[in-house]
Amino acid sequence: MKKETEERFQKRLLIDINRLCELDNKLYHDKDKFERIFEYYNRYRTVIHNRIEQGCEEKKELIRMDRHKVAAAFFCAILRANPIGKKPDADKFFERTINIQLALIFSAKYVIDLFNISDPNNSELEKKIFSRMFKFPKCKNSKSKNYLTNFIMLIEDIQKNSLDIDSDKFQPNLLFVISHLFFLLDAYSYQENYCLTIESASASQQ
């Protein structure tokens, strides 16, 4: 990752961390752990890259990770680093899962969005679509109707060892599952914002 890109990502992460910590006085920014996020990102990125290389006929230097795999690597890196610290009595759902929330917010709403917005091949319609806020699905048939809550509960169940790159129970293939989840979220958000953009254009012409 280029130095200027890393600095840009660090600034955005700090904004998200500070915003979340301001919501609860039992949460705090753990600066030492924050510094390790990009170290972990590079390790997860290497795992993904090596897996792609094993099943790809392209030359190693030509292999590129798409935005969903970059998002997956950052997601897992944030989970592993745990840059938001919690006081001993922080046991509410919001407090307990705060680093999962941070990982999801940063990976989906910033990393994927940044790739989408920055694509020089975007048409004028796509520029309008990507200028809208990232959309998450709505849950109709689960106890919680909030998609983010359901996503966080799912990750909370598997993250302890399966996504921990330093655990002997680490499952590298799960990185591609996370990447595919981000692909599906990206596709959903695009379709929702496409419809909103078309509806808005039609309304303005009436």
The CA distance from 129 to 113, in Å, is: 11
For the stretch 133-174, pLDDT in tens is: 999 988 877 677 788 888 888 888 776 678 999 999 999 999
pLDDT for res 158? 74
Q: pLDDT band for position 61 (50/70/90)?
A: low
Range name among 25-34, 63-72, 82-91, 176-185 with the lowest pLDDT average: 63-72
Beta strands in the chain (DSSP E): 27-29, 84-86
Cα–Cα distance, 49 to 142 (Å, whole number):
35
pLDDT at 57: 63
Say what the pLDDT of residue 62 is: 57
Question: What is the total residue count of the chain?
Answer: 206
Model pLDDT, residue 76: 95
Q: Looking at per-residue confidence, does 148 or 22 come out higher?
A: 22
Could you state, in order of their start, the residue ranges of all structural domains in the chain? Answer: 3-205
pLDDT class of 58 with cuts at 50, 70, 90 = low
Q: Strand 27-29 relative to strand 84-86: parallel, antiparallel, unpaired?
A: antiparallel
Whole-number percent of the chain with pLDDT over 90: 59
Residue that is written with structure tokens 């919501």 in the block: 23
Q: Residues of the chain with pLDDT > 70: what percent?
A: 93
This prediction has a pTM of 0.89
3-state secondary structure 31-66: HHHHCCHHHHHHHHHHHHHHHHHHCCCCCHHHCCCC
pLDDT of residue 147: 87
